[in-house]
Chains A and B, each alone.
Chain A
Amino acid sequence: EIVLTQSPGTLSLSPGERATLSCRASQSVSSSYLAWYQQRPGKPLRLLIYGASSRATGIPDRFSGSGSGTDFSLTISRLEPEDFAVYYCQQYGSSPRTFGQGTKVEIK
């Protein structure tokens, strides 16, 4: 199975700053079948990005995804207060679908 490693484990930033989260796969993710999710306390998980770079419906354009092969990233251009959360990447190019261990974006 494909193992996804996210880094850093925790990112301490201030509102308005730029956040860059990394997701590295143990083998190539076919067709860039990679998604990003946001998890906030008390809220359902929210799909942000699919296909490595396509924003899901209703997702603000401050969220962007990039990458291919084994290296992917999620960028939040200017952090809003509601963006402080845990972010997970997921690959769906091969079975079983697997998730990274998460990156927590916390307020500095």
Chain B
Amino acid sequence: EVQLVESGGDLVKPGESLRLSCAGSGFSFIHAWMSWVRQAPGKGLEWVGRIQSTGSGEATDYAAPVKGRFTISRDDSKTTLYLQMDSLRIEDTAIYYCAKQGGNPATTGFFDYWGPGTLVTVSS
């Protein structure tokens, strides 16, 4: 059974940093392309960024609102995905989900499995 479990969400002040983790199991993590998606309270879904598999060079790309502030990385030995969030802003307040890309990830961009999410609150 595929499982994704996020952790690390917390209440932080504007300008501070936070690192989220996502532990994956039940699938070949080393070959998976993984993304972070967020959902502000009562709002819709917003893609945050993606990391390709190690075999594809671990290339990353990010949504414009977080580019330069957020960094996605992975540790295949621990089957864990990370999201380093720096210079946090109030508008970054959201539930953060990790999601596994489905199909042939090199040619598709839908998400076949999601974690339950972890809440990040940025407030002074």
A interface vs B, CB < 8 Å?
33, 35, 37, 43-47, 50-51, 56-57, 88, 90, 92-93, 95-102
Interface residues of B, count at CB 8 A:
24
Q: Does B75 contact A (CB under 8 A)?
A: no
Once bound together, how far apart are the Cα atoms of A35 and B43, in whole Å? 19
Query: Is A50's CB under 8 angstroms from B103's CB?
Result: yes
User: Which 9 A-B pairs rank lowest in CB-CB distance, beginning with the nearest?
Assistant: A92-B109, A35-B110, A45-B114, A99-B45, A44-B114, A50-B110, A101-B44, A97-B47, A47-B112
**Can you give 28 contacting A-B residue pairs, CB < 8 Å?**
A33-B108, A33-B110, A35-B110, A37-B111, A44-B4, A44-B115, A44-B116, A45-B45, A47-B110, A47-B112, A47-B113, A50-B103, A50-B108, A50-B110, A50-B112, A51-B108, A88-B44, A88-B45, A90-B110, A92-B108, A92-B109, A92-B110, A93-B109, A96-B63, A98-B47, A99-B45, A101-B44, A102-B45
Query: Is B110's CB under 8 angstroms from A45's CB?
Result: no
Once bound together, how far apart are the Cα atoms of A57 and B2, in whole Å? 13
- Contacts beyond the supplied A44-B115, A47-B102, A90-B111: 6 A-B pairs with Cβ under 8 Å: A33-B109, A45-B111, A47-B110, A90-B45, A98-B47, A101-B44
Chain A neighbourhood of B113, CB < 8 A: 44, 47
Main secondary structure of the interface of A (DSSP, over half): loop
CB distance from A4 to the nearest CB of B (A): 9
